[in-house]
């Protein structure tokens, strides 16, 4: 099934709707023959130019969209996604409040639960609401390329736009929570302070120095948030677009240890880790970066474990992904995947997902990036 663009004709929406309704009935035990439902959808479409998913269709659609996410290694548990149906909400303040409640429920005291909250869809009358922030939890980045950035350099443009808009700024630490930026229907984007009680964070320590903290990792003050919740992708199900539908899984350690904290255009911590470990950072051939990466990743996994917060390691998650492939094959379904995203950013060849190829076909239901999502995430034209 092809992914349908926003602003499609009724005929295109009908084509996508028909395929989805058939898929839903095929995959849902007891759903029976799709003919009655198809006739109802067809009539609703002719009348209003759109149609409403039943709660069961919404749940299955959101789960299958996860199943179809070719960049995600964590899809084994696609069928257990928790779906919070908030389709009645169109205003930014109500949406922000539900996003924060999403975080609390998904965090679940550390036993992270994959969760999605679905807000109002696009309709022929009006586009749906939008969340500009790329994730529900983001750390501020102060400064730009002319000066040293404090915090997450990725979020420096959004931080600057928010400051111009009147956000007073945080304490100036490397891990200040940014407000959430939400644009309600028929409204301009607004920012909402992230309540501290909605965000669980994990202090990062290294296992070798943890008792008594001989090596000073605790004083270093590194931390990361427990729940990755993508908030600027559009959920497309059967020709209906839900532009505000934040969703989360749990972290795989390498996302934090080999990317967020390590990338040169993020926290760029490898030189500091290397020095802390007493490595020879004067030559690439000492492999100090590689060694620093491994130790930083050990620290991330150790710290989440110590805090009893769910996190996967890349070896386990790779094996689970192969289990997922087998399971889906047994059910007669093809699994699309994007090798360059599935293979972990460290030790790729030590995981089984490296040693094979995948087809990267995009099918619907799906989570898609709409044009402009990147610009909005950077706060472009926010003021």
Is 69 a residue that touches ligand ARG (CB under 6 A)?
no
Q: Give the footprint of ligand ARG on residues 217-236 (CB under 6 A).
A: 228, 230
Minimum Å distance from CB 282 to ligand ARG? Answer: 30
Tokens of residue 65, six digits: 């969209």
Is 260 a residue that touches ligand ARG (CB under 6 A)?
yes
**Which span sits near ligand ARG by CB under 6 A: 26-34, 201-209, 246-254, 351-359?**
246-254
Q: Is 99 a catalytic residue?
A: no
Using DSSP, how many helices (H) and how many strands (E) does the chain show?
Answer: 12, 16
Give the separation between CA 230 and CA 135, rounded to whole angstroms: 4
Catalytic position from the list 160, 255, 295, 317: 255
Give the separation between CA 256 and CA 261, rounded to whole angstroms: 6
Q: Which of 191, 242, 251, 321 binds ligand ARG (CB under 6 A)?
A: 251
Residue 92-111 contact track with ligand ARG, rule CB under 6 A, x = bound = --------------------
Is 304 a residue that touches ligand ARG (CB under 6 A)?
no
Q: What is the largest CA-CA distance in the chain?
A: 71
Tokens of residue 201, six digits: 């964070």
Q: Rounded to 5 degrees, what are φ and ψ at 244?
A: -115, 105
Q: Which of 128, 141, 151, 249 binds ligand ARG (CB under 6 A)?
A: 249
Terminal-residue alpha carbon distance, the chain: 39
Q: Is 234 a catalytic residue?
A: no
Minimum Å distance from CB 176 to ligand ARG? Answer: 16
Tokens of residue 375, six digits: 């610009």
- Identify the H or E element spanning 171: none
Is 252 a residue that touches ligand ARG (CB under 6 A)?
yes
CA distances (Å), origin 171, targets 64, 136, 380: 41, 19, 24
Total chain residues near ligand ARG (CB under 6 A): 8
Is 255 a residue that touches ligand ARG (CB under 6 A)?
yes
Strand, coil or helix: 334: coil
Q: Determine the residue with CB nearest ligand ARG.
A: 249
Nearer to ligand ARG, 220 or 224 (CB): 224
Judge whether 248 and 114 are in contact, CB under 8 Å: yes
Strand, coil or helix: 312: strand
Minimum Å distance from CB 260 to ligand ARG? Answer: 5
What are the residues binding ligand ARG (CB under 6 A)? Answer: 74, 228, 230, 249, 251-252, 255, 260
Q: Which residues are catalytic?
A: 72, 75, 250, 255
């Amino acid at each position: 099934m092809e992914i349908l663009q926003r602003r499609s004709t009724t005929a295109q929406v009908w084509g996508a709707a028909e395929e989805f309704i058939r898929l839903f009935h095929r995959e849902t035990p007891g759903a029976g023959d799709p003919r009655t439902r198809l006739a109802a959808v067809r009539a609703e479409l002719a009348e209003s130019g759109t149609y409403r998913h039943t709660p069961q269709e919404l749940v299955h659609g959101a789960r299958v969209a996860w199943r179809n996410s070719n960049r995600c290694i964590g899809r084994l548990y696609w069928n257990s996604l928790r779906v919070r149906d908030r389709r009645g909400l169109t205003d930014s303040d109500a949406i922000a409040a539900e996003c924060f409640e999403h975080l609390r429920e998904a965090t679940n005291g550390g036993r992270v639960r994959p969760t999605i909250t679905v807000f109002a869809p696009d309709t022929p009358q009006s586009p749906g609401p939008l969340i500009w922030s790329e994730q529900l939890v983001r750390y501020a980045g102060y400064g730009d390329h002319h000066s040293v950035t404090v915090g997450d350099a990725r979020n420096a443009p959004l931080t600057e736009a928010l400051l111009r808009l009147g956000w007073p700024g945080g304490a100036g630490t490397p891990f200040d929570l940014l407000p959430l930026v939400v644009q309600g229907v028929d409204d301009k984007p607004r920012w909402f302070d992230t309540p501290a009680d909605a965000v669980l964070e994990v202090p990062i320590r290294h296992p070798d120095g943890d008792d008594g903290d001989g090596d000073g990792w605790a004083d270093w003050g590194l931390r990361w948030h427990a729940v990755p919740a993508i908030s600027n992708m559009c959920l497309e199900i059967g020709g209906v677009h839900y532009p505000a539908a934040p969703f989360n899984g749990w972290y795989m350690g390498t996302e934090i240890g080999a990317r967020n904290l390590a990338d040169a255009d993020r926290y760029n911590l490898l030189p500091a880790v290397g020095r802390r470990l007493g490595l020879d950072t004067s030559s690439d051939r000492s492999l100090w970066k590689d060694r620093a990466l491994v130790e930083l990743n050990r620290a991330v996994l150790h710290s989440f474990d110590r805090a009893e917060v769910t996190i996967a390691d890349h070896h386990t998650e790779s094996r689970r992904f192969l289990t997922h492939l087998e399971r889906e094959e047994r059910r007669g379904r093809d699994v699309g995947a994007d090798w360059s995203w599935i293979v972990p950013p460290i030790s790729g060849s030590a995981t089984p997902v490296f040693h094979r190829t995948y087809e990267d076909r995009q099918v619907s239901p799906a989570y898609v990036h709409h044009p402009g999502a990147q610009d909005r995430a950077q706060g472009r034209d926010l003021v």
